[in-house]
Amino acid sequence: EPEVTQTPSHQVTQMGQEVILRCVPISNHLYFYWYRQILGQKVEFLVSFYNNEISEKSEIFDDQFSVERPDGSNFTLKIRSTKLEDSAMYFCASSREIQETQYFGPGTRLLVL
Amino acid sequence: RKEVEQDPGPFNVPEGATVAFNCTYSNSASQSFFWYRQDCRKEPKLLMSVYSSGNEDGRFTAQLNRASQYISLLIRDSKLSDSATYLCVVPTSGNTGKLIFGQGTTLQVKP
């Protein structure tokens, strides 16, 4: 069964450093998403992406965040200058169509020290 | 009213019990709804989709009451493996795929 994959599974970084989280969505999916979950809190939407453009972004997704689909398979989330409050689990998701089920990757646990 | 609201629990039930979770949502324009399951420190996984009045899949039944903006999930004959957090998820009405998650209801099934 096809699945969304994410790397790395864990990332520890110093405050102010840049991080890139990588995702490989399911191959025939066209819509891509990033969500985050701070420990003990609910899953929060960050951004949706379709046809090489951001469709919607949340208030959390400020100028420090960017997304890219550098080739036909990868989908990345970059945080330019990490803050302590960026520590969270980051989930990538993809769907074939906009209203169809979103399938989530296993997540990257980011810890900012 | 919060966008998506759930009773966080925890619900502690014995094996074989029937348990029901409730969820309310604020956007009356929402057309589809989902229940996801999340195990500790894992990704959310789709349990059921709800597009009309309800849906049934084995021991799991989801019901939708649009007038009251309320969704429920019923689990019959609980198994130990049902222990998890159950997330009520509602897409926003904009055509961007954005999902709004409830805070989740934790279920612990005990032998």
How far apart (Å, rounded) are the C-alpha atoms in residues B17 and A48? Answer: 39
Note whether B97 contacts A95, CB cutoff 8 Å: yes
Note whether A43 contacts B44, CB cutoff 8 Å: yes
Closest Cβ opposite residue B97 in set A58, A102, A107: A102
**Residues in a beta bridge with A22:** A7, A76
pLDDT single digits (tens) A21-66:
999 999 999 999 999 999 999 999 999 999 999 999 999 999 999 9
Tell me what pLDDT residue A71 has. 87
| Closest to A54 measured CA to CA, from A69, A74, A36, A43 | A69
Handedness of CA B24, B29, B32, B34 (dihedral sign): negative
| Closest to B64 measured CA to CA, from B32, B103, B100, B99 | B32
Could you say which DSSP state residue A14 is in? -
B47: closest chain A residue by CA: A101
Q: How far is B11 from chain A (nearest CA, A)?
A: 17
Report the percent of chain A where pLDDT is more than 90: 91
Please write down the HEC assignment for all residues of chain B: CCCEEECCCCEEEECCCCEEEEEEECCCCCCCEEEEEECCCCCEEEEEEECCCEEEECCEEEEEECCCCEEEEEECCCCHHHCEEEEEEEECCCCCCCEEECCCEEEEEEC
How far apart (Å, rounded) are the C-alpha atoms in residues B87 and B21? Answer: 10
Residue B1 has pLDDT above 80, yes or no: no
Residue B21 has pLDDT above 90, yes or no: yes
Could you say which DSSP state residue A35 is in? E
Tell me what pLDDT residue A113 has. 97
Interfacial A residues in 26-65 facing B (CB < 8 Å)? 31, 33, 35, 41-45, 48, 50, 55-56, 58
Q: How far is A105 from chain B (nearest CA, A)?
A: 6
Q: Which two tokens stand for residue B50?
A: 């709800």
Tell me what pLDDT residue B9 has. 86
- A94 and B CB contact within 8 Å: no
| Closest to B80 measured CA to CA, from B22, B21, B39 | B39
B42: closest chain A residue by CA: A106
How far apart (Å, rounded) are the C-alpha atoms in residues B22 and B30? Answer: 17
- B94 and A CB contact within 8 Å: yes
Q: How far is B42 from chain A (nearest CA, A)?
A: 6
Determine the average pLDDT of the residues in A62-90.
Answer: 95
Q: How far is A81 from chain B (nearest CA, A)?
A: 25
Confidence of residue A1 (pLDDT cuts 50, 70, 90): confident
pLDDT single digits (tens) B55-83:
999 999 999 999 999 999 999 999 999 99
Closest Cβ opposite residue A43 in set B41, B87, B95: B87
